Structure 1
Amino acid sequence: MGYGAVNSQRGRSRDVLVLGAGAAGLMAAIEAGRRGLRVTVLDHAERPGKKILISGGGRCNFTNIHCRPENFLSENPHFARSALAGFTPQDFLELVHRHRIPYHEKTLGQLFCDGSAQAILDLLLEECAAAGVEIELRQKVTAVGHGSGFTVETESDSFGSSAVIVATGGLSIPKMGATGLAYEIARQFGLRVVEPRPALVPLTLDGAARESWCDLAGVSAEVVASTGKQRFREKMLVTHRGLSGPAILQISSYWRQGETVEIDFAPGEPVYAGLLALSAGRHTAAAETALRQVLPQRLAERLLALDPPQGWSNRALEAAEQRLHRWPVVPSGTEGFDKAEVTAGGVATAELSAKTMEAKRVPGLYFIGEAVDVTGHLGGFNFQWAWASGAAAGRAVKAGIRD
């Protein structure tokens, strides 16, 4: 296949140019190449699939068997439905089985490799090779032009094609090479971009809130985190700068600056029910004992210190119970794109065909994966969107007039 070798020949013509050798771009290239199209993938990095390799702690949470459109947020909550129906988790699992990659379900339908994430990248590269796809690395795109077809200029080459699929991702994890190239291309062609923001990202605390919590760094508990109508029941982790863990990462995608996040520290558990019994002792030690039955000791002690029951009447205990289940936290912000697993926002779905991912006003120009304003929940959903949107574009893209 020869990926990585920089070809010095200028003005090469292909049927399809895919910008970005990540999950979405490689899948699009595979599907287009299988149809006999001449496909070249361009990427500015020195190796393909760098984000794949670090995902899932190096084991790649490559899909989720419970994937539904409801697991994604977007200006148009229905946009992802068509692509997700066209390429399902089972479709990707067929590839995994064909390549004999051992995997397991961790929790909540999340599928991980038993071994290294390299197995998933190898799968994609082998499928690219079988489909005749060329991968050109160290090709930093400097310009995209459009006339009778498309011209893509890089620092060392010039490529012509009848179609361009933009799969350059979002702004998350800039140390891995993330750029805003997809948004620049979209705006160049007059397409609207929903303001990108960090998603699946830890939340930070400042001032009194930070003093109240961050010395408990390392303490975790299963909670329900909510904002607006969104609720996620998973683990929360206290950090040196704020809050993290799956529950917080999930809610961060919906949270906006200045909003309150409510934490239910004992979901489904009536913590003070025993104290309401007529014969029960009603005092601080009894309250602490009740809390420690459902929470780690340090967290139980801190909650009681921050907001002890205001008396021992039934009404006071019921009010304290309610606060435990709706504890308000106002984050100061997020850890930003450096720590965000994905980028929310991106190329507006109103600009694209839901079936093909093609720009409605620019025939032959496609946007897929994280570049689009479709963001999945934590747990393999963003990879499934990459596979699905990539497959949709790769199956729809057409060869044009270029020779």
Structure 2
Amino acid sequence: MSYDAIILGAGGAGLLAAATAGAAGARVLLLDHADKPGKKILISGGGRCNFTNLGTAAECFLSENPHFAKSALSRYSQWDFLALVEAHGIVWHEKTLGQLFCDGSARQIVAMLLEECRRGGVEIRLSTPVGEIGHADGRFHVAGAEAPQLVIATGGPSIPKMGATGLAYQIARRFGLDVVTPRPALVPFTLGEADMLFRTISGVSCPSVARVGDVAFEEATLFTHRGLSGPAILQVSSYWSPGQPVSLNVLADAAGKLREARRRMPRAHLKAALAEHLPTRLAEALASRIGIARELGNVADAELDRAAGILSALTFHPTGTEGFAKAEVTAGGISTAGLSSKTMAARAVPGLYAIGEAVDVTGWLGGYNFQWAWSSGVAAGRAIAARRG
């Protein structure tokens, strides 16, 4: 059967690309090996889908080409997607840092995208393995169908239990596109025996500023039985390279707070002073790490300043991350060097496109990666329709 475009992957990017092209008159086939569309959407945001972020801007994304995302993001912004959400009557709310969630369920976003596909006459085939992809005479042949245009929207290998694979990279290489080495992003760190003290306080979280190199994020850190997690950690994990230390500032103005505690309660110990600002179990672990056993009244300024330095830059040396199994997204992917930033089309292969997580564009935590899916999907969908004409 013949179509104007075949889109591989019924995730967020693939669904909106299909709907966009279909709405403009293109005959589109959307294929996915999964038995349901939008699986990652359904589990996102605790089941309520953090579908975009009001603060979306190109600087919130990682890529070997930091300018690549600008075009797509500006031509289909967070405000455009929000308008679509509201047009479908989906009630939403803003959480911290510009994050937008459905009041109801993530199922509403999937239903919205499927309705948009229905309106555009998109044919959706699920539980359909891609198999071999043929390419001859300017046409792509996939799963018994053919089209002059093919879109790679199969995502990356993060969360393999949801059916995620590295198929996008296999297809890209098949057509001569370079792939930036994929790695887990927005992922917890694992710690070794040297940091066992903090692994024993599993479940404790606190506000912090997490830092890797020159990159820092101020959000919560969660101590786990394996290492470190929480929003601040997930954010910096995207910038981390093996061997790099990770530091946490767990107490703002630590020096001032410790000196004030010494003045107010000279007979107290460090643990008590820390417990005024931090969870008790964390205060105990930090006091043990710092190692001041005397009453605060007997602690000199220099020693308090040393303690403050530790609290301001509590340093860990992760043994690694929890890998693709726990990574929310994949960093790296199909190199942007071979793609048009306006259309997401491969420069060297007419009719081939790559969108969403499959591409070397990775957003911060908080709805940014969904916005990239929407923006890149619309860019490709518009280009498909224009090329058809």
TM range (shorter): over 0.9
Question: Residue 177 of structure 1: CA displacement?
Answer: 0.7
Residues 369 and 389 in structure 1, CA contact (< 8 A), matched pair in contact too: yes
1:228 equivalent in structure 2 = 213
Residue of structure 1 in register with 2:349 after alignment = 362
- 1:286 Cα offset (Å): 4.0
Q: What does residue 387 of structure 1 align with?
A: 374
Hey, what does 2:325 align to over in structure 1? 338
2:307 alignment counterpart: 320
State which of 257, 261, 268 in structure 2 corresponds to 1:271.
257
Tell me the TM-score normalized by structure 1. 0.92
Answer yes or no: is 1:172 the counterpart of 2:161. no
Q: Corresponding residue for 1:239? A: 224
1:129 aligns with 2:118: yes
**d(CA) in 1 for partners of 2:351, 2:142:** 17
Aligned-residue offset at 1:282: 4.8
* Kept in 2: contact 1:15–1:399 (CA 8 A): no
Is the 8 Å Cα contact of residues 173 and 339 (structure 1) preserved in structure 2?
Answer: yes
Normalised by the size of structure 2, how large is the TM-score?
0.95
Q: What is the RMSD of the two structures over their aligned residues, measured on CA atoms? A: 1.7
Pick which of 92-101 and 303-312 moved more. 303-312
The yes-or-no answer on 1:77 pairing with 2:63 is no
Report the equivalent of 1:64. 53
* CA apart distance, 1:326: 0.6
Contact 1:282 1:312 in 2 (8 A): no
For 1:202-251, what per-residue CA distance to the aligned partner results, in whole angstroms no more than 9, with x for missing partners?
A: 11112121x21111111110111100111011111111111111111111
Distance between the aligned counterparts of 2:273 and 2:371, measured in 1?
Answer: 42
Return the offset for 1:365.
0.5
| 1:90-129 deviation digits (Å, cap 9, x = unpaired) | 1011111111011111111111111111100000000001
Q: CA deviation at 1:201?
A: 0.8
Aligned to 2:239: 254
Shift of 1:188: 0.9
1:291-314 CA-to-partner distances (Å, cap 9, x unmatched) read 112110110111011113498221
Instruction: Give the SS at the match of 2:350.
Output: coil
Choose which of 316, 329, 343 in structure 2 pairs with 1:329. Answer: 316
Q: Structure 2 CA distance, aligned partners of 1:167 and 1:271?
A: 51
Q: SS where residue 271 of structure 1 aligns?
A: helix
Q: How many residues align?
A: 384
- Residue 42 of structure 1: aligned partner: 31
| Structure 2 gap segments, 5+ residues each | none
Residue 131 of structure 1: how far off its partner (Å) = 0.8
Offset from partner CA, 1:313-358 (integer Å, 9 cap, x none): 2122112111110111001111111111101100011111111111
Structure 1: stretches of 5+ with no match in the other structure: 1-11
Say which of 131, 135, 148 aligns to 2:137.
148
Partners of 1:144 and 1:150 within 8 A in 2? no
2: CA distance between counterparts of 1:213 and 1:130? 53
Q: Cα–Cα, structure 1 residues 104 and 280, in superposed 2: closer, same or farther, change >3 Å?
A: closer
Residue 275 of structure 1 contacts residue 286 of structure 1 at CA under 8 Å; is this kept in 2?
no
- Aligned pair 1:373/2:360, yes or no? yes
Q: Secondary structure at the match of 1:263?
A: strand
CA positional deviation for 1:189: 1.1
Contact 1:30/1:131, CA 8 A, preserved across alignment: yes
For the Cα contact (< 8 Å) 2:10–2:30, is it kept in 1? yes
In structure 1, C-alpha distance between the alignment counterparts of 2:56 and 2:386, rounded to whole Å: 32
Counterpart of 2:277 in structure 1 is 294
The question of whether the paired residues in 2 share the 8 Å contact of 1:79 and 1:354 is answered with: yes
Q: What are the Cα deviations for residues 150-204 of structure 1, in whole angstroms up to 9, with x where unaligned?
A: 33333xxx11101001100000111111111110011111111011111111111
1:100 is paired with a residue of what secondary structure?
Answer: coil
Which residue among 173, 182, 187 is the counterpart of 1:201? 187
**Higher relative helix content:** 2
Q: Decide whether aligned partners of structure 1 residues 401 and 217 sit closer, same or farther in structure 2, where only a CA change above 3 A counts.
A: closer
Please state whether the residue corresponding to 2:165 is helix, strand or coil.
coil
The separation in 2 between residues aligned to 1:400 and 1:318, in whole angstroms, is 65
The aligned amino acid for 2:279 is: P
8 Å CA contact 2:24, 2:385 repeated in 1: no
1:392-403 matches, within 5 Å, as 392-398=379-385
Q: How does 1:205-224 map to 2 (within 5 A)?
A: 205-209=191-195, 211-224=196-209
Distance 2:264 2:206 in 1: 27
Distance 1:400 1:352, change over 3 A: closer
Distance between the aligned counterparts of 2:74 and 2:190, measured in 1?
37
2:336 equivalent to 1:353? no
CA distance in 1 between counterparts of 2:54 and 2:122 reads: 29
CA distance in 1, matches of 2:388, 2:63: 35
